[in-house]
Amino acid sequence: MIETDIVIIGAGPTGLYGAYCAGFRGLRSVVVDALPQVGGQISALYPEKEVRDVAGIPGLTGRSLVDALSAQAAAYSPVYLLGRQAVELRRDEDERPVVVLSDGTAVQAQAVILTSGIGTFTPRPLPAGEEWLGRGLSYFVPDLSEHTGRDVVVVGGGDSAVDWSLALAPLARSVTLVHRRAAFRAHAAGVEAARVAGVRIVVDSQVVSLSGGERVEKAHLRTRGEADRALPAESVIAALGFISDLGPLADWGLELRGRSVLVNRRMRTNLPRVYAAGDLADHEGKVRLMSVGFGEVATAVNNAAVELDPELALFPGHSTDTA
């Protein structure tokens, strides 16, 4: 059992800013995410793309934005429980929420704030070679430097596959982008940039198996109209997209509209001491932008603070007024 003031479900940009807001109010926070790293959809799908819709920031990569939000929250030492899913919401004898995670950890909190975006991300598996997961096969690239000097095969035809290929091209010994169709879903300019950067692009092809010793050494390809062949592959990154859904949250008794959680003007759901913010939350006039999510989670945290201690002022004060 872990005790805290606020448990935030979702470690994307909205959740990270929520951890900062909670700390600024003097509240302890625990941040939970099913993904193995913070950043949510940005880290999973477009870490190297520029984000331009945050006020005051003309543009920076998704990875840089996540790093900045993490550093901002770090001032108040939130606890991160990553790679585990929030599966059950219970109540203790005092009706305080208790969130049970997929690994059996229970987080007892005064309030819950849901910031899990469009739901839980589950990577689409590579049809061949799942037994190599963690031994050269991966679905995420949390640290580009891990692939320095390696022969890398990226599988997929979307923006994330092209982004990873571009980002790894200066570091890896070689980068090959394999797509099962001739046409890419990714933006044409990104595909051309990858080609110019030296990425080998193989289309109408599928990875049918992986082989090696302790780690992956080769990716075996089947290309339409050609004989099967093997490519050197010390790293294989399967960027085949993600399946997202509400997962266990759908069974918590929340009032839903499709895959969204309905909230009032305080960002409170229909459940006591449970709030939601960001892309997951829905209300009249909702605009799904990251910048809106930042305002919503600040609203959620401060209203939760007042619910926990009615003597507190709703307005948290300005950060410039503090030491």
> Which residues carry a binding-site annotation for FAD?
14, 33, 41, 46, 86, 121, 279, 320
163 sits in which H/E element = helix 159-168
DSSP secondary structure string for all residues of 25-78: TT--EEEEESSSSTTHHHHHH-TTSEE--STT-S-EEHHHHHHHHHHHHHTT--
Burial class (CB in 10 A: 0-12, 13-18, 19+), 125: middle
Q: Report which of 133, 188, 137 is spatially closest to residue 158, judged by C-alpha positions.
A: 188
Structure tokens at 298: 């600040």
**What backbone phi and psi angles, to 5 degrees, belong to 295?**
-65, -40
Q: Report which of 83, 68, 86, 55 is spatially closest to residue 20, judged by C-alpha positions.
A: 68
> Which residues contribute to the annotated binding site?
14, 33, 41, 46, 86, 121, 279, 320
